[in-house]
């Protein structure tokens, strides 16, 4: 069933009162209320509108969400008694406990309290229907709907109106990939030869800094096009907090007004920064985060893409409660192809309702941006959205319980030996330092690769077996 205008923009908290304007002049009265009473009260939520078009299809219209506690109904122009009764019955059926009806409009103090009427109406309906009541469960028969085609934000990769995640270790370029998708969706350009749903994107820069704006600028330099429909939220948003969800819904509405385009995707970068002080491993805390993401989806119609970190052992997936992965429509592991290269590998680890994306590698291109006050050239990276087969990691796959550190060290060894460069323990230590790794367990990483038959160590010389 279709929802009444502005119903999906109402607060997540069911105890918050919903205002409805009903009648031939409902749109005008609702606008006046927003500009006057709403502004004075600091209330940015638009009222639900039941104008003539909505009244004509009232029987097939959802006018209030289930479980809402209280409603304020204003008469706005012509409104016939049978329509008023039909509205009251719909409120009762949705479980509204208390409602106040203002028959003379929003500037009148005259009101009718419907609490007792709603209670009687609910009891009457239950008595009338009894065991003959039809279920509210969504049901279909047999193969009905088998030919339904999925909608996508990025065809075959990111489903529309879904909850998705990309995860990987630090330095795996996962945020560069999220930024690339955001730029392509907001400009309508194909990504990797795949169609995108052109629209606006909200990017929550939870980790702060200037990295994301520089990545966007680098994309603009490469593609010769300004990214106008990508909006950055420069602080973490906590989906487990209803007020933050409300604020992001308001932001999405503002972006839609300013761009004239629907918000297709909301990116949360990263889960850790948007989790507050909660415990990622606690299923209850993760459940609250998931419910908030689902509420964002429901109220904006956008896909929520969460950028997440992998655990200590990359082979065991993203860190935190397994409830998060269970809730996802699509999940991708992002890894660095080789510790010495600037390329990422996308591996699909979950695709709920479609065929999994084939694993592919994507190169990153260095882009010069500007020279700072000290004469240093500032650069960033752009994902080249041309898929290719990933370079095999060969013997490293034989190592058990390997971590990101082992994979990175193997990448350094492999890069040096393939290029014909000298490969010694001191040189490898320098390579790993340049990549940002702590060196206190460096010797242990080497010994493990040697023990697992991946490399040999001869004095200071190191090489693959």
Strand-pairing partners, residue 124, are none
The model carries a pTM of 0.60
Give the model's pLDDT for residue 142.
94
Average pLDDT, rounded, for the chain: 90
DSSP 34: I
- Asked if pLDDT for residue 126 goes beyond 80, the answer is no
- Asked if pLDDT for residue 399 goes beyond 70, the answer is no
Asked if 333 and 347 count as a contact pair (C-beta separation under 8 A), the reply is yes
Q: Do you find a cis peptide bond into 270, omega within 30 degrees of 0?
A: yes
C-alpha 136/C-alpha 140 separation (Å) is: 12
C-alpha 158/C-alpha 165 separation (Å) is: 9
- Asked if pLDDT for residue 398 goes beyond 60, the answer is no
Of residues 449 and 395, more confidently modeled: 449
Task: Provide the edge-to-edge strand list for the sheet that holds 70-75.
Answer: 48-50, 18-22, 70-75, 98-102, 112-113
Question: Using DSSP, how many helices (H) and how many strands (E) does the chain show?
Answer: 13, 20
Neighbours of 304 (CB within 10 A): 27
Give the model's pLDDT for residue 337.
83
Give the model's pLDDT for residue 393.
52
Burial class (CB in 10 A: 0-12, 13-18, 19+), 287: middle
Picking from 375, 348, 284, the residue whose alpha carbon sits closest to that of residue 321 is 284
Asked if 172 and 360 count as a contact pair (C-beta separation under 8 A), the reply is no
- Asked if pLDDT for residue 406 goes beyond 90, the answer is no
pLDDT above 70 coverage of the chain, percent: 95
* Residues in CB range of 109: below 8 A, 6 or more apart: none
DSSP 172: S
Asked if 61 and 54 count as a contact pair (C-beta separation under 8 A), the reply is yes
- Asked if pLDDT for residue 249 goes beyond 80, the answer is yes
- Given pLDDT bands bounded at 50, 70 and 90, which one contains residue 40? confident
Query: Which region among 114-118, 168-172, 275-279, 410-414 has the lowest average model confidence (pLDDT)?
Result: 410-414
- Asked if pLDDT for residue 402 goes beyond 80, the answer is no
- Kindly state the tokens that stand for 444: 């242990």
Q: How far is CA 100 from the centre of its chain?
A: 37
CA dihedral 327, 329, 335, 337 (to 10 degrees): 160
Neighbours of 63 (CB within 10 A): 23
Domain spanning 152-383: CATH 3.40.50.300: yes
Alpha carbons within 13 A on the beta-carbon side of 340: 17
pLDDT in tens, 296-315: 999 999 999 999 998 776 66
Range list of H helices, 42-144: 52-56, 81-93, 115-129
C-alpha 352/C-alpha 373 separation (Å) is: 50
Average pLDDT for 260-266: 98
- Asked if pLDDT for residue 258 goes beyond 80, the answer is yes
Give the model's pLDDT for residue 174.
96
Give the model's pLDDT for residue 396.
59
C-alpha 18/C-alpha 72 separation (Å) is: 6
- Given pLDDT bands bounded at 50, 70 and 90, which one contains residue 230? very high
- Asked if pLDDT for residue 259 goes beyond 90, the answer is yes
- Asked if pLDDT for residue 277 goes beyond 80, the answer is yes
Average pLDDT for 116-138: 75
- Asked if pLDDT for residue 374 goes beyond 80, the answer is yes
3-state secondary structure of 102: strand
3-state secondary structure of 304: strand
Q: How far is CA 41 from the centre of its chain?
A: 31
Give the model's pLDDT for residue 80.
94
CA max distance for the chain: 94
Give the model's pLDDT for residue 138.
86
pLDDT in tens, 181-199: 999 999 999 999 999 999 9
Average pLDDT for 381-390: 93
- Given pLDDT bands bounded at 50, 70 and 90, which one contains residue 77? very high
Write b or e for each residue in 86-99: b if 16 or more Cβ atoms lie within 10 A of its Cβ, otherwise e. ebbbbbbebebebb
Give the model's pLDDT for residue 313.
67
Q: What is the DSSP string of 230-292?
A: EEEE-S---TTSHHHHHHHHHHHHHHHHHHSS-EEEEEEE-TTTTSTTS-TT-HHHHHHHHHH
Give the model's pLDDT for residue 125.
64
Give the model's pLDDT for residue 131.
57
E strand or H helix that includes residue 366: strand 360-371
- Given pLDDT bands bounded at 50, 70 and 90, which one contains residue 392? low
- Given pLDDT bands bounded at 50, 70 and 90, which one contains residue 363? very high
* Residues in CB range of 104: below 8 A, 6 or more apart: 75, 110
pLDDT above 90 coverage of the chain, percent: 68
- Given pLDDT bands bounded at 50, 70 and 90, which one contains residue 208? confident
Average pLDDT for 395-403: 64
C-alpha 300/C-alpha 162 separation (Å) is: 11
């Amino acid at each position: 069933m279709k929802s009444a205008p502005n119903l999906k923009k109402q607060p997540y908290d069911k105890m918050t009162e919903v205002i409805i304007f009903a009648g031939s002049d409902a749109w005008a009265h609702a606008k006046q209320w927003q500009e006057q009473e709403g502004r004075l009260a600091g209330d940015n939520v638009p009222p639900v509108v039941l104008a003539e078009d909505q009244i004509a299809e009232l029987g097939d219209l959802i006018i209030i969400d289930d479980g809402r506690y209280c409603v304020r109904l204003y008469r706005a122009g012509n409104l016939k008694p049978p329509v008023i009764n039909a509205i009251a019955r719909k409120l009762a059926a949705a479980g509204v406990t208390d409602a106040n009806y203002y028959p003379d409009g929003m500037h009148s103090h005259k009101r009718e309290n419907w609490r007792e009427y709603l209670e009687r109406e609910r009891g009457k309906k239950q008595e009338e229907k009894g065991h003959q009541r039809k279920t509210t469960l969504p049901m279909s028969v047999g193969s009905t709907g088998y030919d339904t085609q999925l909608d996508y934000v990025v065809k075959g990769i990111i489903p529309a109106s879904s909850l998705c995640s990309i995860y990987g270790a630090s330095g795996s370029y996962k945020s560069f990939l999220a930024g690339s998708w955001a730029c392509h969706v907001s400009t309508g350009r194909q990504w990797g030869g795949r169609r995108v749903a052109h629209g606006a994107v909200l990017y929550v820069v939870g980790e702060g800094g200037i990295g994301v704006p520089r990545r966007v600028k680098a994309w603009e330099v490469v593609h010769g096009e300004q990214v106008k429909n990508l909006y950055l939220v420069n602080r973490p948003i906590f989906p487990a907090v209803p007020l933050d969800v409300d604020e992001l819904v308001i932001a999405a509405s503002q972006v839609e007004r300013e761009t004239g385009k629907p918000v297709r995707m909301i990116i949360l970068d990263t889960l850790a920064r948007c989790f507050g002080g909660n415990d990622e491993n606690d299923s209850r805390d993760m459940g609250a985060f998931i419910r908030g993401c689902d509420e964002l989806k429901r109220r904006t119609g956008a896909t929520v893409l969460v950028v997440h970190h992998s655990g200590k052992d990359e082979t065991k997936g993203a860190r935190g409660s397994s409830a998060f992965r269970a809730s996802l429509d699509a999940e991708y592991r992002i890894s660095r192809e080789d510790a010495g290269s600037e390329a990422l590998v996308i591996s699909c680890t979950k695709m709920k309702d479609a065929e999994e994306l084939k694993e592919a590698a994507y190169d990153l291109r260095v882009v010069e941006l500007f020279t700072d006050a000290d004469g240093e050239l500032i650069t960033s990276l752009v994902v080249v959205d041309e898929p290719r087969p990933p370079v095999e990691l060969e013997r490293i796959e034989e190592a058990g319980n390997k971590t990101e550190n082992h994979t990175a060290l193997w990448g350094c060894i492999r890069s040096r030996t393939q290029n014909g460069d000298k490969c010694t323990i001191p040189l490898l230590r320098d390579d790993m330092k340049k990549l940002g790794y702590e060196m206190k367990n460096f010797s242990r990483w080497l010994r493990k690769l040697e023990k697992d038959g991946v490399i040999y160590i001869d004095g200071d010389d190191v090489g693959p077996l």
